[in-house]
């Protein structure tokens, strides 16, 4: 999975849940682990690549 694919998947999740006040960043992290299968290392990479996400 390249950087752009990571960014696109994060944006998909954020758009899907951005209006849901119950969904925190921790929940988004959990969703990424569960549905996308990010590893902890990948999640760290994503946060480094996307400061707006962290």
* Contact in structure between 11 and 17 (CB atoms under 8 Å): no
pLDDT bin (cut points 50, 70, 90) of residue 54 is: very low
How far apart CA 22 and CA 34 sit, in angstroms, is 18
Please report, in angstroms and rounded to a whole number, the separation of the first and last CA atoms in the chain: 20
Output the pLDDT for position 5.
79
**Tokens linked to 38:** 């990010």
* Contact in structure between 43 and 29 (CB atoms under 8 Å): yes
Least confident stretch, 9-13, 42-46, 47-51: 47-51
The residue that leads in pLDDT, 11 or 35, is 11
Residue with tokens 């999740």: 13
- The percentage of the chain sitting over the pLDDT mark of 70, rounded to a whole number, equals 52
């Amino acid at each position: 999975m390249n950087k752009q694919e990571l960014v696109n998947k994060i944006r998909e999740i954020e758009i899907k849940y951005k209006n849901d006040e119950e969904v925190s960043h921790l929940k988004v992290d959990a969703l990424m682990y569960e549905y996308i299968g990010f590893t902890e290392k990948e999640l760290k990479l994503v946060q480094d690549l996307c400061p707006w996400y962290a």
